[in-house]
Structures are given as structure tokens and as C-alpha cells.
Amino acid sequence: MNRQPSQPETRPETVGGDNTSTTPVAAHTPRSALGRTGLSRGALNVAFQAGAFLVALVITTLVLLVAGAPPFAAYGEIVRGAVGSLQSLADVTVAWVPLVVCTFGLLVTFAAGLWNIGVEGQIMLGAVFATLVLRLLQDTNAPAWLALTLAISAAMVGGGLWAVLAGVLKAFGGVNEIFGGLGLNYVATALSLWLIFGPWKRPGVGSMSGTEPFPEQLWLPQFSGLRLSPWGLGLAVLAVVIVGVALSRTYFGLKLKAVGRNMRAAFLLGIPTWQYVLAAFLVCGLMAGLAGGIQVTAVYHRLIPSISSGYGFLGLLVAMLVRYRALWAAPVALFYAALNIGSIQLPIVLKLDSSLAGVLQGVLVLCVILAEGARQRLLHRPVSELPAPQEPGRGAPEHATPVEDAL
Amino acid sequence: MDVEIRDIHKRFGAVRANAGISLRVTAGTIQGVLGENGAGKSTLMKILSGFQPADRGEILLDGRMAHIGSPADAIRAGVGMLHQDPMDFPAFRVIDDFLVGRPGGISLSPGQARRELQAQAEHFGFSLEPNREIARMTVGERQQLELLRLLWQGAGVLILDEPTTGISAPQRETLFAILRQLAAEKKTVLFVSHKLDEVERLCHRVAVLRQGRLVGEESAPFDTAQLVRLMFGKEIVVSAPRSTAREETVLTLEGIEVEDARLHVGPTSLEVRAGEVLGLAGMEGSGQSLLLRVCAGLMSPVAGRLLLDGHDMTHRPYRSFHDRGVAYVPAARLEQGLVPGLSLTEHVLLSERHRGPLIDWKRGRAKTARRIHDFNIRGEPDNTVESLSGGNQQRALLALVPDPARLLLLEHPTRGLDVESTVYIWSKLKQRCTQGTAIVFVSSELEELLRYGDRVAVLFSGRVSAPVSAALTSVEELGELIGGKGLEPAA
Ligand SMILES: Nc1ncnc2c1ncn2[C@@H]1O[C@H](COP(=O)(O)OP(=O)(O)OP(=O)(O)O)[C@@H](O)[C@H]1O
Ligand SMILES: [Mg+2]
């Protein structure tokens, strides 16, 4: 099993001996204009990131102007909507939970050089499995803690299975994980719709509002007056910490990285490569499933049609934005969650579509990636500085971010 | 084209890869560039050909200041570089690869391109089939293709970075003939190599680099001892080590036959004893690599049996071989052996057996620092492997071979190493042999095969000769065997 990961071959970037890849080193003093200003490399990085952020803001502002909306009022509204009250802060956290869990799951697949586009479907399958368990147990006298534990475990299993399926298709069927994932996403959507409008439909007629809500004792306990569940938050933090440690401090994480960057060499080093590919999918699926399980047990208390709320795709964006570094993923996910929540009120207050947050989120990622390219060009470096999980960084399909309201 | 470089500086962190190098090369000269591993040769060549920017310094072509910011700039200015490893597109066909580099290539009709390619190839005496897949070509053929493309793009200055590693002797002779022809056509050739005999035969002038500085220039005829002194600052004594072969057999091949799409190898029966070194000689693509890969468990033989320490390992997976102490070191360093983007420490950690899931980074770094010292690698534990010089990558690759190992299978183990490091690395390998490790290695260097091998088996079009004793064979005799004398291919 020594299949190479599909790599777009680009000239100076291809592995080609000691001649190509140039990793910049700290004290390098470029002769470019920027170099002469005497900025250190770290400061330059920050300057570029800040510049990217500003450019993204400008572009979004232009979009707003074209749409005939007052930009500053809109931004003010977003800030107010996100951090204006305890309620909104809690809502941001509620949105952060599934987003950060998915993002960390995706960091694992990215480490292995995989584009797990199927993460959306994995969230849905997690939600479906959790719903299934709760439906089976809600009429028995199983204690609530047991039912909830089983539901969340089942959610992880569901997400994991769905991800491994994409992995099996790749490892044994030769189906690129991007196509496999896309296909499985459609299947997952169809499955949850079928369940909502078919076998699990509400008494009377099925509706887009989802299945019949579970009795309140099967809800994960929430802070009083808020939609935030300490249990959901705790589970998310725990999962994120485990994955973060696994990626940075374990042989598992290191081997994943080796597989992701050079499958052939990893194999020769004695790493069972396809097992690691499957393991990466599995871990990401477990995380996505967990996110789906939390959405069902802690947020919606039922299965709704778009239960993933686009958090999977948003997680891909966050992972790209932080260039696959775990340390940055949590705060950036928080920022993105805040944008999501902050823009909820826009339609009501300013008659604007709440997808404005999506515009800003997408533009921001593009700007940061572009700024990275520009930085390298300005410093005269060949663009061979590898982005963390090499190939996924390049030639990636631009996907829309269907950002829907979290709540 | 006259080339002049003036006061080129290039730093990588604390490493001064080029520290003020100035050099003039007049048109029609074949200029050799010598220097130990990590001396800064590739860096200088990459600067000249636009793959890397210099921190400081100027490049003049035909007396005019040239601004070379990218490989595209360079080729427009007439400077083309052949890299240490071919930089083509393995998934492409020959003709596609040829077209890619052509400015305005889109408007060119494929038929015309094909004719031009063939005309070019004929002019230089190559045979390149336009529809061949590049992935199936030997290093030498890929190099010829690359060369043709650069010339077709109008290169007046050709830079060749260690072009003779990994190509066969006839391919080398073809290459040299072309280079001489090009020099006669007033093109300028810069030739980087570690092989002194080649440099002496081919080059008109030689520049020697050491630690980023130009330490000397010589003109033909050269004095080998003087070149070595310039390169290393001392004499290097090369001696043939004593055999350490023991009685017990490590590897047994019984009527092994392998094949891939191009070649059928065998049947062959061989025994390799503990502590013994067996060399595999032959023209590139005669089946050495296939045979080595079978011994590593990376390919299944189509017939015959393979035993390791008496255990039948035929058709067992690579991992069982790996677990039995078989280590395989491939020739393609950055494609197969190392993981670009990972540091030396990460490589060392990956190459070791470990207990428990957690990484002890501090211990890993300490261990790596020891290996760096042991194998004389120029680099730091946190350096990524692609930032090392070619020779240092090779040392890193060898430093990763698990210890103890039962059987080492090495493809061109000293490829890209300077004379001193070659001696040093082989002393390391022979040290392993005294502990009972058996070595099978492939090399295109006849001297290396005879000096370090106890026995040498010759492959010719997939036929494997009975091994000859290295001590009783001369370079000339081995050369004849490689050419197929006394070993005609089966009809
Ligand atoms: N991209 C890089 N980042 C950091 N250090 C580098 C980089 N490229 C080269 N170096 C360092 O610069 C020095 C010179 O490297 P260079 O590749 O020019 O050596 P070389 O003379 O070609 O050696 P070899 O014969 O081994 O190929 C080495 O110490 C190497 O580690
Ligand atoms: Mg070099």
C-alpha cells in the first residue's frame, strides 16, 4: 500500500532534491523594500495578517455599500449582537462548541494530508445516531444520564463510521476523499430529511422544524436562563485538548504528519500508512459526530434538517485561516462564532441578510491566504514554503460557506 | 555567454552558505565547481539560476548587469539549470514535459513540437520516445530530457548540479560529449560534482568552495592532491577496509524472479552472509533496484523463495521484513526516504521504536544531536530535511537506519557525498558489519563497488551473474561485465 496522496505537481514546489524547497530561516535579511525597513520576521508576519484583516474589512464594506447598507451600523450591530449581553456571549459559546470541535477534527485529517469535505455529513450522522438512541430510550425508564451518555457515544460512532466510509473509499476504492465526502454529504442530508419527513415525522405531518422535541429530562442541563450547556462546553473543551495534545505531543500525531507529507517515505519508515489514513478519518469523524450529538442533546433537543448548520465547512475555513496550527484554532473559531451570532440580528435591525457574516468570513480567509502569498513574493522567496499540510493548501476547491443561523 | 558573479552573499539563519563569492567564467568554458558537502555550491548555482535570491551581490551576463528574480527570468536571460535531482513532472509524458517549459507553448502545435523534440534529440544522439511516461524513465533519460528542454528554451549558460549521480557510465559519456560540444558552440557550462576524476577529465577550469568562500581556482591540467587539499584543507587517505564476513547466512535467494512492466529479473540464487557486503553492479535499469526491493519485501517475487536467517519470507509484507531488521535506503532522498517539512528530530523519532504514545521532545532532540554528531551532518535538530545540502540529506538518510539492523539494502548510499564523507560513511557502515549486519548495495561507481564490496554481482538486462570476488576483479574487468561480456541475455 504505497499510494501517493494526490499531489498537484507544481514546478519549483515539487519534491526535487536539495534544490527546491526553501524554508525560510529567522535571521534571513532580504534585499527587498520591506526588508530594509528593519522589521523582524515576526513583526512582518503580524503586519501582513493585520493587513489581510483590513483588506477583508474593506472588501466587506464595499459589498455593504453596493448593497446599499450603512457599513458602520452593520459592524456595530455585529459587535453588539456578539458581545452585547450575557445572553449573546453565551450564544457565541454555544456556536463555538460545534465549530471548534469540528475544526480540531479537521486538523487531524489535514495533518494526514486529507481534505475531509465530508465533515458536514459526519455531523449529520452524529446527530442522527444521537436522535435514534434518545428515541429508543425516551419511553423506557432508563436514567437520563445513561440515555445521554449513550446518545453522545452513539453520535461519535455514527460520525466515525461515516468518516471511515470516506476513508475506505479512498484507501481501497481509489475515490478521492473530496468526491467521496461530497457524495456522502448528500447521502447524509437525504437520510436526515427522509427520517424527519418519514419514519420520525411529528404526529400528523412532517415539517422542516424537525422531529418531535425530546422530553426535557433528556436535555443536557443548561445554565439557567441561557442556552449554553456546561456539559456540552466541557465535552468540547475536553475533546479539543485531547486532540491538541495528540497532534503535538504523541507519536500518533507525528506519524500522521509523516503520512500526510510523504506517504512513500512514511511507509518505508515502517508506518502502516493506510491504517493511519483511516485513523485520521476516524478521529475527525468522532469529533464531527460529537458536534452533532451536542447539537441534538444540548441545543436543538431534536433532529432538524440542517443540523450541521454549516459548521463543518466553517471549520475547514478556520483550519485554513490558522494554517493548520492547533494553538490558533480555538480563538479564531471563537471569532468566527462571534461573527455568526453577531449577524443574527442584522435582518431584523438593518434589513440585511445575515449571510453578511459569511461574506466576511470567506473574504477573510482568502485575504489571509493571499497575504501569505504576497509576503513570500515580496520577500523574494520562492513560494515553496510548505503550508503545514502541504498539498491541501494548494489547488483547493473554493467552496461556498453556507452559514446558517446557529439558533 | 560570459558569466560574472560579484560578491554573492547568502545566509540561512546562522549558516553563511555563500560569503562573498566572486567568479568569472568566459564563454566556451566548462567551469567545474568543487567543494565539500554543504560548501555552498548548490546555493550559488540556485542564485545564478533564479531559484533563490542572494542577500547581496551582482550577476553580470556578457558584461551586462542581469536581474534574475526567478527561474523564468534566468531562462529568459539565457541561464538554465539542471538540478541535483531531475525536476520534471513524473505524471507527464515526455512531449508534455517538453512543452511545459516553452514560452508560448500553447500556440505550438503538438506535431511541430514533436518534430522539434526529435530533431533536437537526434542532434545530440539521444533516443527519447515522445510518448513515454516520465515516471518510467531512468534518471539519466530524465536528465537528457531536461537538458534538451533547457537548450530548446535558448539557454546559453548551462548549470549542472551533480549531474552524474545516478546515471550509467554510457549515459555519462554521452553527457560529457554534449557538454564539450556545447562549449565548442561558445556556450558556458558550470559543472558541480564531487567526482574528481570527472571534473579533471571534463573541465577547463575549476573553482573550489569551502564554507561559503571561494578558496581557490585551478586550470587544467589538474593535480588531484591539490584539489583535495583545497576542498578539505587536508589530505584524504582512501583505503579498502578488511572483510568482516562471518559464517552464518543472513539472506538467501533461491531461484528468485521479479518483474515489472519493463523488465524481468532472474532467476537468481544468492547467499549473503552476516558481516558481508555484496555490491550490485550494472547499468541503470538493469534490475538492481528491483532485486533490492524484493529483498526489502517491497515487491513480491514472481517465482522462487527468499529466506532471512533461515525463515521463509517469500510474499511477506514489508513490515515483517522491517520487523526482522531489514532496512531499505532508497536513492530518491526527498521522494522516498525523507519527509519534507519534518525536522531532523522528527525523523529520528519516527525511525526509532518507541514505548508509550507520548513524545519526549527533549530526549528526541538530544538523541538527534548525537546522531548529527555521529554522522557529521551539517544542520540542527530543528532544521527541516529539505533545508540541508544534498550531501547532508544523504547522511541524514543513513543516520536514520535503525541500529542494530540485520540486513541493510542501500541504493547508491554515497550518492552526492564528497570524498571525505564517502570514506567516513563507509567506515560507519563497515562498523555495522563487524556487529554482524549484512549489506547489499547498488552503486554506479565501479571503484566503490570493488573497494567496499566483498563480492560483486553484475546485472545485465535482468540477468544476474554469479558474484565475483571484489579483491580479484579489476575496474576494467568489472566494466566489461557490466557491458554484458560473458553474460548474454537469454534469447
Ligand atoms: N533553504 C535552506 N535553509 C537553511 N539552510 C540551508 C538552506 N539551503 C542550504 N542551506 C545550508 O547552506 C549550506 C550550503 O548548502 P548547499 O546546498 O549550497 O551545499 P552544497 O555545497 O551544494 O553541498 P552538497 O555537496 O552536500 O550538495 C548548508 O549548510 C545547508 O545546510
Ligand atoms: Mg548541493
- What does pTM read for this prediction? 0.81
**DSSP, residue by residue, B200-230:** HHH-SEEEEEETTEEEEEEESSP-HHHHHHH
**Closest to A132 in 3D by CA, of A150, A109, A108:** A150
B382 → chain A, closest CA residue:
A25
Which of A244-248, A348-352, B371-375, B385-389 is least confident? A348-352
B317 → chain A, closest CA residue:
A1
A172 plus A313 within the same structural domain: yes
Do the beta carbons of residue A129 and residue A158 sit within 8 Å? yes
A393 in a structural domain: no
- Which class for B257: exposed (0-12), middle (13-18), buried (19 or more C-beta within 10 A)? middle
Output the pLDDT for position A243: 97
Output B65 or B490, whichever has higher pLDDT: B65
Do the beta carbons of residue B386 and residue A20 sit within 8 Å? yes
Interface with B, mutate which of A2, A18, A274, A324 (most B CBs under 10 A): A18
Q: What is the average per-residue pLDDT within B412-440? A: 90
Output the pLDDT for position A249: 93
- Which residue out of B232, B388, B414 has the highest number of ligand 1 atoms within 8 Å of its CB and is therefore the one to mutate? B388
A321 residue type, one letter: L
Using left for φ > 0, alpha for ψ between -120 and 50, and beta otherwise, residue B307 falls in beta
Give me the domain span that covers residue A245: 88-346
A226 plus A98 within the same structural domain: yes
B405 residue type, one letter: A
The alpha-carbon gap from A12 to the nearest alpha carbon of chain B, in Å, equals 8
Q: What is the average per-residue pLDDT within B459-488? A: 84
Interface with A, mutate which of B334, B387, B388 (most A CBs under 10 A): B334
Output the pLDDT for position B98: 67
Q: With helix as H, strand as E and coil as C, how does chain A read? A: CCCCCCCCCCCCCCCCCCCCCCCCCCCCCCCCHHHHCCCCHHHHHHHHHHHHHHHHHHHHHHHHHHCCCCHHHHHHHHHHHHHCCHHHHHHHHHHHHHHHHHHHHHHHHHHCCCCCCCHHHHHHHHHHHHHHHHHHHCCCCCCHHHHHHHHHHHHHHHHHHHHHHHHHHHHHHCCCHHHHHHHHHHHHHHHHHHHHHCCCCCCCCCCCCCCCCCCHHHCCCCCCCCCCCHHHHHHHHHHHHHHHHHHHHEHHHHHHHHHHHCHHHHHHCCCCHHHHHHHHHHHHHHHHHHHHHHHHHHHHCCCCCCCCCCHHHHHHHHHHHCCCCHHHHHHHHHHHHHHHHHCCCHHHHHCCCCCHHHHHHHHHHHHHHHHHHHHHHHCCCCCCCCCCCCHHHCCCCCCCCCCCCCC
A251 plus A109 within the same structural domain: yes
| Residue bearing the CA closest to ligand 1, atom 28 | B38
In chain B, residues with a C-beta closer than 8 Å to the C-beta of A264 are 335-336
In chain A, residues with a C-beta closer than 8 Å to the C-beta of B328 are 268
- DSSP 3-state assignment of B145? helix
A206 plus A159 within the same structural domain: yes
The alpha-carbon gap from B388 to the nearest alpha carbon of chain A, in Å, equals 7
For ligand 2, an ion, list residues with CB under 5 A. B 42, 389-390
Q: What grid cell was written down for A93?
A: 459559546
Output the pLDDT for position B199: 92
Output the pLDDT for position A407: 27
CB of A25 sitting under 6 A from ligand 1? yes
Report the largest interatomic distance among the alpha carbons of chain A, rounded to a whole angstrom.
Answer: 74
Q: Is the pLDDT of residue B149 over 60?
A: yes
In chain A, residues with a C-beta closer than 8 Å to the C-beta of B319 are 270, 272
| A251 close to B (CB below 8 A) | yes
B3 residue type, one letter: V
| A255 close to B (CB below 8 A) | yes
A222 plus A291 within the same structural domain: yes
Share of chain B above pLDDT 70, in %: 93
- Which class for A32: exposed (0-12), middle (13-18), buried (19 or more C-beta within 10 A)? middle
In chain B, residues with a C-beta closer than 8 Å to the C-beta of A2 are 298
A364 in a structural domain: yes
Do residue A270 and residue B384 have CB atoms under 8 angstroms apart?
A: no
CB atoms within 10 A of CB B480: 14
Output the pLDDT for position B87: 58
Q: Is the pLDDT of residue A264 over 80?
A: yes
Output the pLDDT for position A405: 28
A60 plus A166 within the same structural domain: no
Share of chain B above pLDDT 90, in %: 48
Ligand 2 centroid – CA B370 distance (Å):
24
Q: Is the pLDDT of residue A1 over 50?
A: no
Output the pLDDT for position A17: 34
Which residues make beta-bridge pairs with A163? none
| B52 close to A (CB below 8 A) | yes
Q: Of A346, A369, A388, which residue is a domain's last?
A: A346
Output the pLDDT for position A6: 39
Distance CA B290, CA B268 (A): 12
A15 in a structural domain: no
Average pLDDT, chain B: 87
In chain B, residues with a C-beta closer than 8 Å to the C-beta of A267 are 318
Which residues make beta-bridge pairs with B469? B455
Q: Is the pLDDT of residue B47 over 60?
A: yes
A283 in a structural domain: yes
Q: What is the average per-residue pLDDT within B404-427? A: 90
A126 plus A261 within the same structural domain: yes
Would you place residue A214 in the very low, low, confident or very high pLDDT band (cuts 50, 70, 90)? very high
pLDDT tens-digit profile of A10-25? Answer: 333 333 333 333 333 3
**Closest to B199 in 3D by CA, of B182, B178, B183, B223:** B223
Q: What is the average per-residue pLDDT within B245-271? A: 89
Do residue A26 and residue B393 have CB atoms under 8 angstroms apart?
A: no
Ligand with an atom nearest the CA of residue B395:
1
Do the beta carbons of residue B440 and residue B408 sit within 8 Å? yes
Do residue A16 and residue B358 have CB atoms under 8 angstroms apart?
A: no
A279 plus A145 within the same structural domain: yes
Ligand 1 centroid – CA B383 distance (Å):
11
The alpha-carbon gap from B384 to the nearest alpha carbon of chain A, in Å, equals 8
Of B13, B89, B388, the CB nearest to A27: B13
Share of chain A above pLDDT 70, in %: 82
Distance CA B31, CA B193 (A): 11
Output the pLDDT for position B88: 56
Burial per residue of A122-160, b for 16 or more beta-carbon CB atoms within 10 angstroms, e otherwise? bbbbbbbbbbbbbbebeeeeeebeebbebbbbbbbbbbb
A51 plus A167 within the same structural domain: no
Q: Is the pLDDT of residue A4 over 60?
A: no
Give the H or E element holding residue B16.
strand B15-25
Sign of the torsion formed by the C-alpha atoms of A245, A247, A248 and A251: positive
User: Where is mean pLDDT largest: A233-247, B45-59, B183-197?
Assistant: A233-247
Output the pLDDT for position A139: 87
A253 plus A375 within the same structural domain: no
A288 plus A329 within the same structural domain: yes
CATH number reported for the structural domain that contains residue A330 in this entry? 1.10.3470
Output the pLDDT for position A37: 41
What's the domain count of chain A?
2
Q: What is the average per-residue pLDDT within B324-332? A: 89
Output A21 or B104, whichever has higher pLDDT: B104
Q: What is the average per-residue pLDDT within A85-90? A: 92
Output the pLDDT for position B100: 64
Distance CA B346, CA B364 (A): 8
Q: Of A346, A363, A396, which residue is a domain's last?
A: A346
Output B83 or B67, whichever has higher pLDDT: B67
Do the beta carbons of residue B97 and residue B49 sit within 8 Å? no
A29 in a structural domain: no
Q: Of A346, A362, A396, which residue is a domain's last?
A: A346
The alpha-carbon gap from B333 to the nearest alpha carbon of chain A, in Å, equals 7
Output the pLDDT for position B482: 84
Output the pLDDT for position A113: 93
Q: Is the pLDDT of residue B3 over 90?
A: yes
Do residue B12 and residue A269 have CB atoms under 8 angstroms apart?
A: no
Of A9, A31, A254, the CB nearest to B89: A9
Asked if residue A272 has a cis previous peptide bond (ω within 30° of 0), the answer is: no
A226 plus A311 within the same structural domain: yes
Do the beta carbons of residue A77 and residue A348 sit within 8 Å? no
Q: Is the pLDDT of residue A286 over 60?
A: yes
Q: What is the average per-residue pLDDT within B453-476? A: 90
| Residue bearing the CA closest to ligand 1, atom 24 | B37
- The DSSP secondary-structure symbol of B386 reads G
Q: Is the pLDDT of residue B254 over 70?
A: yes
pLDDT tens-digit profile of A103-120? Answer: 999 999 999 999 999 999
Would you place residue B275 in the very low, low, confident or very high pLDDT band (cuts 50, 70, 90)? very high
A99 in a structural domain: yes
Output the pLDDT for position B86: 59
The alpha-carbon gap from A178 to the nearest alpha carbon of chain B, in Å, equals 21
A399 in a structural domain: no
A9 in a structural domain: no
Which of B113-127, B322-336, B406-420, B447-461 is least confident? B113-127
Asked if residue A382 has a cis previous peptide bond (ω within 30° of 0), the answer is: no
Burial per residue of B351-382, b for 16 or more beta-carbon CB atoms within 10 angstroms, e otherwise? beeeeeeebeeeebbebbeebbeebbbbbbbe
